[in-house]
Amino acid sequence: MENTAPLTSWTLLVLTCLTGLEAAGPPGDGGGWSLKSDLRLQDEGLCNIDVLDGSSLSHQQFLERYAFVRPVILRGLTDNTRFRSSCSRSRLLQEYGGKNVRLSTANTHSYRKVDVPLQEYVDVWLRPQSADVLGSDILYFFGDNNVTEWQLLLQQYASPPYVLPRTSGALSFGIAGPGSGVPFHWHGPGFSEVIYGRKRWFLYPPDQEPHFHPNRTTLSWVTETYPQLPEAEAPQECTISPGEVLYFPDRWWHATLNLETSVFISTFLG
């Protein structure tokens, strides 16, 4: 999951053609997810992670400079226009509104799971979060996908072309409201792409465990802890927008914060 590892994984599906897709708007059009009622968190913070055009980085350069060493943000890796169109609010609710999605608690371990129809999740749960709510009391959809029910959607996604030796990709799809996110945790390497919205990332290398409470949300950490951090304990961070893919290496600590209603997908390399 975005980024706790999904409980269910599957081999990356081959691209197939579907008919009747509506035309996709530009990456920044919001897809109908950005509502006037959104409590937007405008502060994207600084960006101290390398941001590169995907065409300027060969697979070998990726392996040598980033894959096992540090995170990187890549632009223009793949063309996901069709997938973006299918992820608009109207398309998703039309095709999948009656299907169940599995919600997880927004704390480090995400033990609690609740199944609800996607339409109910969008109508009831997809709302701005506040900093004073515990992660165990927040439920949101961030990647525990049913393979069969979501197959037609996920097979449209073109994953990043870079791979690690002896790994295969598993997809994890999610939708989350402003102020939501997963607090610090770690797992295997992966890529994360924003389809709609903006997602702020905070990362630390494996040997630098951040100070955080596993049942406090990322929003509370950003509000209370982050401003007090000494320079030596500052994270690597950046905000990614539609069309940008963040790669994080194996066992890197990371936390996420959705700055507005966001649709996102991760490719976990396991």
Quote the CA–CA distance of 12 and 57 in Å, as a whole number.
Answer: 23
Q: What is the mean pLDDT of the chain?
A: 84
CATH top class, domain 51-269: mainly beta
pLDDT tens figures, 193-240: 999 999 999 999 999 999 888 778 899 999 999 999 999 999 999 999
Quote the CA–CA distance of 152 and 82 in Å, as a whole number.
Answer: 12
pLDDT tens figures, 16-55: 222 333 344 455 568 999 765 555 556 899 999 999 999 8
Residue 106, pLDDT score: 72
Residue 263, pLDDT score: 96
CB 3 within 8 A of CB 187: yes
DSSP 8-state symbol, 223:
I
Q: What is the pLDDT confidence band of residue 147, given thresholds at 50, 70 and 90?
A: low
Residue 92, pLDDT score: 94
pLDDT tens figures, 150-209: 889 999 999 999 989 998 888 999 999 898 888 899 999 999 999 999 999 999 999 999
Quote the CA–CA distance of 194 and 245 in Å, as a whole number.
Answer: 7
Quote the CA–CA distance of 234 and 50 in Å, as a whole number.
Answer: 16
Is residue 7 scored above 80 in pLDDT?
no
Residue 46, pLDDT score: 94
Average pLDDT over residues 119-133: 84
Q: Where are the domains positioned within the chain?
A: 51-269
